[in-house]
Amino acid sequence: MDYKLEYMERLFAKIGKKKTESYVISRIWHQLDDNRVKFVIQQYIRRTQDKYALADLYLPQLNIFIEINEPFHKNNVAVDKIRNEEILSVTHSKPIVIDCDNDIQEIHRQVTDVVKLIKQRISELGDKFKPWDDASTLTVEYHRNKGYLKVEDNKCLRTTEEVAEVFGTKAKHRGFLRASGAAVPNKKHEIVWWPNTEHRLWHNELSEDGMFIYEYPKAEDKRAAHLKQWLSAPEETRITFLRYKDDLGFCFYRFVGVFRLNREKSVQENKCVWERVSDTYQLNV
């Protein structure tokens, strides 16, 4: 299935029970009629150190946040104002509010204004506007042709087989190391690793700042042996793709950096603590 089609099908299925929100976002999508623009729903935004918000609709290429306020928001005017000011401070983009405590003609008028703004922003960007093209970046060929991996690019692949193929190797499915990674050809003590944050037997956790991965068996009686194994093993470099599932149910493997075991922290915390030593990796394929 075409990736964009599947993406938008899942997006509308996700918000299907939110009738007003679904109606407004659908009208924006169809009135805009431009599949170069990516729609993201429930975008996570860190407002302060201990508070976050979820934007109803986010257009990442244009840094546009859209809030769809249903009638109950009338009781939260002051709270919403503070929330939107905090979002502006963090993202440098003031959320656009569509007030749905109105009749259908007024809602349509607001949607039309939003669509005009989106088109204007695209026009202002000119050649700097980058069309939504996730499908092409989700390929082995894209990464091989680019020649390097970089964390800030936030690029992904769909399967472990594709991750392995980027490095000219194959994903195998038996044994601990083979199941969660594969040796990089012609690179001693280097593996490509794809930890799963939802594994039923293993705990794999990326720290919020992206600098550490905490790895240990969920079975407490196996943790000491696992730590001892890696503390006594030769130093290993792990080119790491973390498996995650997005809000629409797509599974991806995202490059999160190059990691090595921090032995001191591992001993202190009684678990394997892998520390990021580089946010880039040069491919040799």
Last residue of a domain, one of 73, 98, 128: 128
Report pLDDT for 184.
92
Q: Are residues 225 and 102 in the same domain?
A: no
More confident residue, 63 or 111: 111
Q: Do 145 and 277 reside in the same domain of the chain?
A: yes
Query: Which of 35-44, 80-89, 118-127, 161-170 has the largest mean confidence?
Result: 118-127
How many Cα atoms within 13 Å fall on the side-chain side of residue 268? Answer: 8
pLDDT mean across residues, the chain? 86
pLDDT of residue 42: 79
| Same domain, residue pair 32 and 119 | yes
233 lies in the same domain as 254 = yes
State the amino acid at position 172 in one-letter form: K
Q: Do 196 and 259 share a structural domain?
A: yes
Buried b (16+ CB within 10 A) or exposed e, 7-26: bbeebbeebeeeebbbbbbe
Whether 74 shows a pLDDT value over 60: the answer reads no
Which range marks the domain in which residue 143 is found? 136-282
- At residue 88, the pLDDT reads 47
Pair (267, 162) in one structural domain: yes
User: Which residue, 128, 157, 181, sits at the end of a domain?
Assistant: 128
Q: Nearest-CA neighbor of 118 among 69, 64, 68?
A: 64
Of the three residues 109, 128, 147, the one that is the final residue of a domain is 128
Specify the range with the lowest mean pLDDT, choosing from 134-148, 170-184, 195-209. Answer: 170-184
Q: What is the pTM of this model?
A: 0.73
Same domain as 241, residue 181: yes
Q: Assess whether 187 and 208 both reside in one domain.
A: yes
Looking at the structure, do residues 140 and 18 belong to the same domain, yes or no? no
Regarding whether 204 and 89 lie in a shared domain, the answer is: no
Q: Are residues 70 and 176 in the same domain?
A: no
